[in-house]
Every structure is written in C-alpha cells, then in structure tokens.
Amino acid sequence: MKVLIILTSHDKLGDTGKKTGFWLEEFAAPYYVLLDAGAEITLASPAGGQPPLDPQSDVPDAQTEATKRFKKDDAAQRALATTTKLAKIDSNDFDAVFYPGGHGPLWDLAENADSQRIIKECFAAGRPIAAVCHAPAIFKHTKADDEMSLISGRRVTGFSNTEEEAVGLTKVVPFLLEDLLKANGGLYEKGPDWGSYVVVDGNLVTGQNPASSEAAAKALLKLLNRQYD
C-alpha cells in the first residue's frame, strides 16, 4: 500500500513575527504507524523540500515516543528534507493520503489548488483521506462531484475553538477551524480539549488535536486494510 503524507510549507504565524509550520507529533506518529504496517510512504508539500517545523512542537514537553524515534531516524529525516513538490503528485499513484496539522495548513493547504485536486480525485475514487488537528482546513474549498462542499453532511472534527482560545491564537489565525467546518456543512464533533478524538465518516478520517494523530493514522490504516481484504 502506498500512502501520501502532505505537509505545510507555510512558516509565518500571521503578523506575530513568530514561526509556525507542521506539528512534529502529528507527522511522526502517523509516519511510524503507517511505516510499521508496511506502507510505502511519499512525503509532499506545496513548495517541496524541507517543510517548516513549528518550534513549539519541538520543545521538551511536546516530545513523544514517536518524535524521539524520528530524531534518531536518519532515513526519515532525509525523506522529510526532500519532500516532493505537490504540483508533481499524481493522486492515482497512492492508496490514501494523510495531512498532519500545525497552524501552517490554515494559510497554505487551505487554499492550495493542487491539494484540492488530490482530495477531489481521491474522494471520487473512494480512497481514504485523513487530516488531523488544523489540517482539516484542507476542506475549506474542496467540492464533491455535485459541487457541494465535500464535507457537507459528513461527521468531522478538528482543532476546536476552545483549544484555539487556550493557545491564545483566536485573533491570529485566518479563521477558526471549528467555525469553518460547520460553515461548510460539516457535522462537527469534539471530545475533551487535548484528548484523543477521531471521527470516521466513510473514507474521511479527522482527528481533533495532536493527541489524536496516532489514533487517526490507525483509523486510516483500518480503512486501507479493508480495501486489501
């Protein structure tokens, strides 16, 4: 099975002068869940090359077993440093796609035409799509074949308004993800702040926050295994 992981290329946290990017745990945990299950993984990003790492995800308190493993994994670090440019990706080469979060996707992947193309093609083909934390921002403009919002009438989750308030960024982000998902017709659900919470609706998998990244990857893997049964 071949899985595409798409990361952000955006590194500016609004007008704060601070850096953002992808959240390390939200990449590392799914990467190893899929890798250990035998998946062939390709990494991509809008700009290609090394995606920016959110510095807040690299502090000691944010480390997990997956992030510690990544820091010792030269092959994974080389793969991350050389992501494929998203425009060059043919979705037909993959069985599923996974989007890690971090605040970066709110700015670039939410608007990226190549990402929208890949999502629409995968959705139409019945291939699983997973997004965790802020990454469900990818559904901002995505349409199904009937030109309705792809998530309209579908159960979804993502970083909640109360979690955004807790990190003090409600006035910094270009939009609140929970509000966006609801405005696009998504049937938004959430669990307790900072706890693992994953929603599966058909071939769409969404996770609420960083703690949900491993469970979201396992849910995606379950859908993939069902395809191969």
| Segment 47-77, tens digit of pLDDT | 999 999 999 999 999 999 999 999 999 999 9
CA distance 119 to 97: 8
pLDDT at 228: 57
State the burial class of residue 62 (Cβ atoms within 10 Å of its Cβ: 0-12, 13-18, 19+).
middle
The domain that holds 203 is classified in CATH as: 3.40.50.880
Q: How far does Cα 19 stand from its chain's mean position?
A: 18
User: Domain residues for 111?
Assistant: 2-228
Mean predicted lDDT score pLDDT of the chain:
96
Instruction: Summarize pLDDT for 136-192 with one digit per residue, the tens.
Output: 999 999 988 778 899 999 999 999 999 999 999 999 999 999 999 999 999 999 999
Query: What is the number of structural domains in the chain?
Result: 1
pLDDT at 227: 65
State the burial class of residue 185 (Cβ atoms within 10 Å of its Cβ: 0-12, 13-18, 19+).
middle
pLDDT at 148: 86
